[in-house]
Amino acid sequence: MENVVVHIISHSHWDREWYLPFESHRMQLVELFDNLFDLFENDPEFKSFHLDGQTIVLDDYLQIRPENRDKVQRYIDEGKLKIGPFYILQDDYLISSEANVRNTLIGQQEAAKWGKSTQIGYFPDTFGNMGQAPQILQKSGIHVTAFGRGVKPIGFDNQVLEDEQFTSQFSEMYWQGVDGSRVLGILFANWYSNGNEIPVDKDEALTFWKQKLSDVRAYASTNRWLMMNGCDHQPVQKNLSEAIRVANELFPDVIFVHNSFDEYVQAVEGALPEHLSTVTGELTSQETDGWYTLANTSSSRIYLKQAFQENSNLLEQVVEPLTIITGGHNHKDQLTYAWKTLLQNAPHDSICGCSVDEVHREMETRFAKVNQVGNFVKSNLLN
């Protein structure tokens, strides 16, 4: 029997705005990138960093550190910095269907400017997942998705319901959309922080890994196990290489490797059992009271939901059709800017209305900008 291989993926789940306003979180982001780049330069064993599936964080960083653009490009070219495929990490349900599609389209366009994109449909903390996601992913050339919510009702303490209430026995499954499109789904069954802050002290590491390996074993369908080395706004672990060496010494029958998501997916796809469960349609942990997918945020600060829909309607149902009818194709850049600005209000901590007041005041300013651009282009086309 082959040894278990533990794939450790470094990341930081980046909510652009949440318990702090955007600019405060951005200052943390600058520190994260600066420390990460130092690690890339000084530790050849630190192989890669998953940039949370959203390209916008590159823009956020480079607005503060424009002199590092070439450095960012080099790390992407070398495969150390893993970007894309989305523009932001959106809430599926509280934005328009077109906005969901544009987020993927713009994200892939932005990633293409840098040359490489990770082809993982990444929904780590989305408050439930819509049934059209597999269809959008397949149409975009993406065949694998990773998500944290919507299948097994699991809390942060790894307490779960009884097995017979699970939608899938394993953390690996197939997810079939409403149109029949199917992707491989990888559930963060022990959350996307199950490999966070790995100890280097041998006694602490022994205790840590005994528990963590047991947790992963409970849901894994293969002997290729996923450990997510990071969490929300988590700084990069600077001594990770040492921690991995300690783990390999303590558990000689287990192989611990620092890997990218693409490498992990390639490994797990080659080891999948013949039969996996297929989950269908939307994933909202339907058997629960909705707490796990934070369903009550659907009615929080309802004016934000209304403003998003109004601005989305302006762009997709008024301005863009007028552009086609009048042949006004020279407005493409303005409309791309408007869509990007609108999508900056689409992350779950933003559109769900569950952040500090400063966040939602800034959202209103973004909505106003979208409205101004949209109405200017509309007037220009009609005159």
Question: Known catalytic residues?
Answer: 125
Q: 38 with 32: CB under 8 angstroms? A: no
- Tell me the backbone φ, ψ of residue 237, rounded to 5 degrees: -80, 110
Handedness of CA 276, 282, 283, 286 (dihedral sign): negative
Q: Cis peptide leading into 347, omega within 30 of 0?
A: no
Say whether 24 sits in a helix, a strand or coil: helix
Q: What is the DSSP letter of 90?
A: B
Q: 148 with 188: CB under 8 angstroms? A: yes
Q: Cα–Cα distance between 362 and 372 in angstroms, integer?
A: 15
Q: Pairing relation of β-strands 172-176 and 182-187?
A: antiparallel
Residues 6 or more apart whose CB falls under 8 angstroms from that of 233 comprise 12, 13, 14, 15, 25, 28, 32
Q: 170 with 277: CB under 8 angstroms? A: yes
Q: 98 with 338: CB under 8 angstroms? A: no
How many other C-beta atoms can be found within 10 angstroms of the C-beta atom of residue 31? Answer: 12
Q: Cα–Cα distance between 33 and 61 in angstroms, integer?
A: 8
User: Minimal CA–CA distance to 89: which of 117, 124, 116?
Assistant: 124
Give the DSSP per-residue string, 316-339.
Answer: IIIIHHHHHHHT-GGGHHHHHHHH
Q: 216 with 226: CB under 8 angstroms? A: yes
**Euclidean distance between the first and the last CA atom of the chain, given in angstroms as a whole number:** 73
